[in-house]
């Protein structure tokens, strides 16, 4: 099997028993939990679209390892065209789910670990690369979801990992055995973690030689002994427990963030892909971050498409869509959203082959893409709130609309224009609220800011990538401060 059905994926999640907590209680059945299920639905969409002929070219590809047809989320990019299709696939899924669909981080980790392990082996004579290829073949053959796992708890961020008062603030090796290693620590903000089959953990940052125990990259199954998961809260999340499908906003889908604790977890050597090679930790972090910053030029754009559509719908419903200032604001939303997409496509089209054979995006342009993502979705959301009006945050509960006494009055006084049912206005306003302030805002706004590194992390990479001295020389040649050999005629 190389392509799972959504049903097979959900069956996998039912069979996978994990140590999960939410609201202070242990959760035994996460698949049918009303808070968690929307995020599983979003992940399941990555399986459904891969089986639809209309999307075959975007969602599936021939494996460079096995020659079989696989889900693109398990693929090693083989060309700039592959990188472009990745972004287009992510936009499509953002449009279909209106939220974070959670599978991108694993795909980005695959590609970064693949080319980094190759270079470690070339320099050190290790065998990490072949180990990783074997693991990835397992992933591709079984169409597995893997959570790329990087962000540590970090404690005092002014101190290196080995200088922390508590050494567990970063995931690290606590024991080496003949058959493997034992790791301990905590990873925060893990998107889609409990909807995955496996974890692919990576170091959090560039490391110095003395921090060699923290230079560790490995894979473990989600149900490995010692793994503990705590589900993250999101704004308005308990609306999903209240019954009804209006107040949550997005009727079908949602995102997921999890605190992930490694409590003395054993990892066999066959699933260890870095073990003390500190000089390569920065390379792995930068490459993973680059791939993931490219991803935001697709996924956040697709979600942005749904928010723009919601803004268009609510202005139609409320009878103001013909006003020139309304048209102009929606055009601005489109302009900002398409600019993000252009950045995602640009860094993909400028991709280049790595030593390992897979393709890497243009790092500078990927960081430009993500820097814009830290800003533009907030402006898109602001305009959507502007166009939605105050009822966005003052509308009564859907249960009030169902009340026999006040319900008819609410439907009368909160009616939209023309023959638009009041319920349509309710649903659209709740959807906009969800995307700009509720659960989905985590995956659209906060993730736009902090996902794949903070805004300052991108600015550091932009500073490294820009050729300022070269640009200065160009200017000095054009104004006659330096000799210009290009005009020697």
pLDDT recorded at residue 100: 97
Tens digit of each residue's pLDDT (9 = 90 or more) over 130-166: 999 999 999 999 999 999 999 999 999 999 999 999 9
Task: Write out the DSSP string of 46-79.
Answer: HHHGGG-GGGHHHHEEE-TTTSSEEEGGGPPP-S
Q: Smallest Cα–Cα separation from 224: which of 147, 302, 115?
A: 147
Burial (CB count within 10 angstroms: exposed 0-12, middle 13-18, buried 19+), residue 342: middle
To the nearest whole number, what is the mean pLDDT of the chain? 97
φ, ψ for residue 185, nearest 5 deg: 145, -165
Tens digit of each residue's pLDDT (9 = 90 or more) over 339-390: 999 999 999 999 999 999 999 999 999 999 999 999 999 999 999 999 999 9
Instruction: Give yes or no for residue 3 having a pLDDT over 80.
Output: yes
User: Is CATH 3.20.190.10 the classification given to domain 286-466?
Assistant: no
Task: List, by residue number, the catalytic residues.
Answer: 100, 104, 191, 257, 292, 296, 299, 447
Q: How many CB atoms lie within 10 A of CB 316?
A: 18
Tens digit of each residue's pLDDT (9 = 90 or more) over 421-472: 999 999 999 999 999 999 999 999 999 999 999 899 999 999 999 999 999 9
Instruction: Give yes or no for residue 488 having a pLDDT over 90.
Output: no
pTM of the model: 0.97
CA-CA distance, 302 to 147, in Å (whole number)? 21
Span(s) in the chain for CATH 2.40.110.10: 6-283
Q: How far is CA 301 from CA 182, 253, 273, 287, 416, in A?
A: 40, 17, 33, 22, 29
**Left, alpha or beta for 453 (phi > 0: left; psi -120 to 50: alpha)?**
left
pLDDT recorded at residue 289: 97
Stated as kind and residue range, the H or E segment containing 261 is strand 257-268
Q: Smallest Cα–Cα separation from 144: which of 75, 68, 216, 93?
A: 75
Residue 260's DSSP bridge partners are 187, 229
Instruction: Give yes or no for residue 333 having a pLDDT over 80.
Output: yes
Span(s) in the chain for CATH 1.20.140.10: 286-466
Higher pLDDT, 7 or 243: 7
CA-CA distance, 380 to 395, in Å (whole number)? 22
C-beta of residue 250 within 8 angstroms of C-beta of residue 38: yes
Q: Across residues 223-244, what is the average pLDDT?
A: 96
Q: Smallest Cα–Cα separation from 236: which of 441, 400, 96?
A: 441
CATH classification code of 6-283? 2.40.110.10
pLDDT recorded at residue 489: 83
């Amino acid at each position: 099997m190389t392509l799972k059905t959504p049903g097979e994926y959900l069956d996998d999640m039912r069979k996978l028993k994990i140590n999960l907590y939410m609201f202070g209680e242990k959760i035994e059945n996460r698949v049918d939990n009303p808070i968690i299920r929307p995020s599983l639905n979003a992940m399941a969409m990555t399986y459904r679209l891969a089986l639809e002929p209309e999307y075959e070219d975007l969602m599936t590809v021939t494996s460079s390892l096995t020659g079989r047809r696989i889900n693109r989320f398990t693929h090693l990019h083989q060309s700039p065209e592959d990188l472009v299709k990745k972004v287009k696939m992510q936009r499509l899924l953002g449009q279909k789910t209106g939220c974070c669909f959670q599978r991108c981080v694993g795909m980005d980790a695959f590609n970064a670990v693949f080319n980094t392990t190759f270079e470690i082996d070339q320099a050190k004579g290790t065998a990490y690369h072949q180990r990783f290829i074997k693991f990835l073949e397992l992933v591709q053959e079984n169409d597995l979801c893997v959570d790329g796992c990087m962000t540590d708890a970090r404690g005092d961020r002014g101190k290196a990992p080995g200088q922390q008062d508590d050494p567990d603030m970063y995931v690290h090796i606590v024991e080496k055995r003949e058959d493997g290693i034992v790791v301990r620590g905590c990873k925060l903000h893990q998107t889609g973690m409990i909807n995955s089959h496996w974890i692919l953990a990576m170091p959090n940052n560039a490391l110095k030689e003395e921090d060699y125990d923290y230079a560790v990259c490995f894979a473990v199954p989600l149900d490995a002994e010692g793994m503990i998961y705590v589900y993250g809260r999101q704004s308005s999340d308990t609306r999903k427990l209240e019954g009804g499908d209006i107040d949550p906003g997005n009727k079908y889908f949602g995102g997921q963030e999890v605190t992930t604790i490694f409590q003395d977890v054993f990892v066999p050597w066959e699933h260890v892909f870095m073990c003390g090679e500190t000089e390569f930790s920065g390379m792995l972090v930068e490459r993973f971050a680059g791939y993931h910053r490219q991803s935001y030029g697709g996924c956040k754009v697709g979600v942005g498409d749904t928010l723009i559509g919601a803004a268009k719908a609510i202005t139609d419903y409320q009878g103001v869509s013909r006003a020139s200032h309304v048209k102009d604001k929606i055009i601005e939303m489109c302009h900002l959203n398409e600019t993000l997409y252009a950045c995602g496509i640009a860094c993909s089209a400028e991709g280049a082959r790595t030593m390992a054979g897979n393709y890497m995006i243009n790092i500078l342009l990927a960081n430009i893409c993500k820097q814009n993502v830290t800003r533009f979705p907030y402006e898109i959301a602001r305009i959507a709130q502007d166009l939605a009006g105050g009822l966005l945050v003052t509308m009564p509960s859907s249960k009030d609309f169902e009340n026999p006494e006040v319900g008819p009055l609410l439907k009368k006084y909160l009616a939209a224009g023309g023959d638009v049912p009041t319920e349509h206005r309710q649903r659209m306003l709740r959807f906009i609220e969800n995307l700009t302030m509720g659960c989905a805002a985590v995956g659209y706004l906060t993730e736009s800011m902090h996902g794949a590194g903070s805004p300052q992390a991108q600015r550091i990479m932009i500073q490294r990538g820009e050729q300022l001295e070269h640009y200065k020389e160009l200017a000095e040649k054009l104004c006659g401060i330096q000799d210009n050999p290009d005009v020697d005629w």
